[in-house]
Structure 1
Amino acid sequence: MKKHSLIQTIKILILVFLVTSLITSCKKDNDNGSSGAPVITRVRTVSKDSTFKNITTRITLDSSTIADKVKQVAFDSTVTSGRLNGLYAIMGENLGSTTQVLFNGVSAYFNPALVTENSIIITIPTNAPWGSGQPNKLTVVTRNGQFNFDFVIQQPAASITSFTPVAGGAGETVTITGTNFNGVTAVTFDNTPATIIGTPSATQIQVRVPNGIVQAFIYVTTPGGTTRSVGSFGFRYLVYDDALAKGWWVGGWNGGDKPNFSNTSPVKRGTNSIAVTYLGGYAGFQIGNGGGTISLSDKSAVKLSIYGGPGTDGRLVRVMVMGPDKDGKQAITDNEGVVVTLKAGQWTDLTIPLSSFGTRPVILEQLRIQELSGISSPETIYIDDIGFI
């Protein structure tokens, strides 16, 4: 009886040993990673045209199922730098037991299903530090050690959050506020370069408004690329861009009362300009505000561009901004205004201070452009980008 019990006990111990060995073996087989230290050989971008293939491995243990691993099957080129929030593949050896991936010391999330012995698919975290003073290191930590790899985080594109003032004349200072202005190389108003004043910071740039700017988007160029402002620099109040502002009426005399607001050539900016053909001497182009009170108290000048048609070289026109002054009286009379000499075949950009119109108007009622040369034959001028700054 005792001998039988001993034999049974030995069998049970052998069975326990075998089961324990099997479990240990299974655990080792299911642990990602080898016993070697990790090595990174390169980093590759993940092609936007690459595809993912679902590979399902089913291991049944007591009716439970472990499944669904994803394998990356297409890659792009090898890189030594990367952008924030960019998707990359870390290539190497002994990566299967990875516990942490860091970019310049900042931990990045990774999906264990996208980790193999030879690759890790990972996204660079948006808070990874970049720029001078950084170690420029990609670090992979596994159960068997860690590996540091030279890798640079690229400067992100600049972001323009605001600029002030929102309008101004040539030579005036504009302060641009935003982020990631490090290493700014250029600021332009549309395609016109602006002079940078002083030393820009990472969050602020000061520039001078270039000559000839009526309305334009602001572009900032840094090592991270070129960024455009959401809103455009230009007028505090716009009268005519490619169309006359809503609520304005059209008057005029001796041909000036029939302007074409949809003229397509010549055009200063955009797609349309105003063509005004004067049929007689001292004719006038006249538009007026009928859409409500427009205050000029926060505006300093009127801006517009005039193009002289054939035969107009040296001709004179008078620009008049009409409305009441602070005492409620008409600021200028019919014979007052600012006289401008036309240039045939080219645009003349005008920025006329409101103080030039005699008593300064504080409410905008009318804008007139009157021919002063007393011509007897029809002549045409073109007007574009009318507004107040």
Structure 2
Amino acid sequence: MLEALAQAEEAVAACADAPTWAAAEPDIVAALDAAHRIEQRLAAVKLAVIRELDGRGTPVAHGASSTAVWLRERLRLTVPAARRLVDLAAALDTGNPGVRRALADADITVDQARVIVDTVATVHATAGAEAADKAVGMLVDWSGQFDPTLLRKLGTRILDHVAPDLADHAARAALDADDRRATRDRHLTLSEQTDGRLRLTGILDTEAAAVLRAALDPLTAPSGSDDQRTAGQRRHDALADICRLALRTGELPENGGDPAQIVVTAGYDTLTRQLSAGALDTGLHLTPEAVRRLACDAAILPAVLDGTGQVLDVGRQRRLFTGPLRRALVLRDRGCAFPGCDRPPRWCDAHHIRHWADGGPTSLANAVLLCPHHHRHVHRGEWTVRLGHDGQPEFVPPAWLDPTQVPRRNHYHRRT
């Protein structure tokens, strides 16, 4: 073996220095096929040697804690890669001579061999040795047409071919097992960061995942050619939009006797002159800009506090765009009024053109529908919102974007 491997190594080394640029294209393609076949044959030899060394206990005798650790040091592999070699070598040596022969003949690749071994083990446990032998033959044949990923997908239905009488029962059992595992493993963890942000981690079961995707997908498309958000940022904003819509419906269960709500405590100066932050009931803080933006389409409940923060007097909620006024606003704007936005009314906030805290009235003439993204955009103060001569909202862009500052309108919702 050593002499043959030495000759093979010498031949391969000579090929490595060959000038491929001088060869004809068909010869280069044939060389690629030959090199690939040799690679698989050498892999079969390598696995056989690893299995023999593992069986003899050579790695442990050399002081290693396991064969995988010994291979890591000897071949400079990662432990997971070394462990996969040890496991595959054992599998090919135990009950899979057909797979071992196919790899040695270069009929399959190492990755395909792993797929076949895993699939055959499942078939053997479910339908017995005879069905497993049939599965080996079929999977080896399929390996000539399909890569490892497709081969694994095909393998999930291998019982339809080798043991059709058991296939339906096995498929149902596998589905039930997957469902039990999904039910057991489902969870959502909310980890509060020190700066007020929230880290979401978890695993959704299949049904919840489908519902979430159905809700997120329509909202994750870029809002226009100038949308610079990453895909992850768009998903973040879509999830926030969904939560806002759920809060707006008023159909969420009560929480502590009150409707589901966000509670922000802010000083009068925060609303009128944007001088300080607002405090959430969780103890975290929002910027003055965020407080004013939330106040556009939220109930305000004035409260008088003394110097120690004790409540002295509580007023009534006021200044909401609700009922007939909200309906009139929807009929006029038909959705987010910002130029180029296609968000429907149910996703939109009612924005005071002149902020209520600055003396602006709660009226149709002082309102415009904006989706959360463009609501934040407008509150930065670069765009000016106004009603045109015909009573329709129009937006004046900042000078850096359009030196002529020609007013723009949303034509997406225009009636035809």
> Which bracket does the TM-score occupy, shorter chain normalised?
under 0.3
By relative contact order (CA 8 Å, sep 6+), the higher-ranking structure is 1
TM-score normalised according to structure 2 size: 0.24
Relative to its length, the structure with more strand (as a share) is 1
Greater CA radius of gyration, 1 or 2? 1
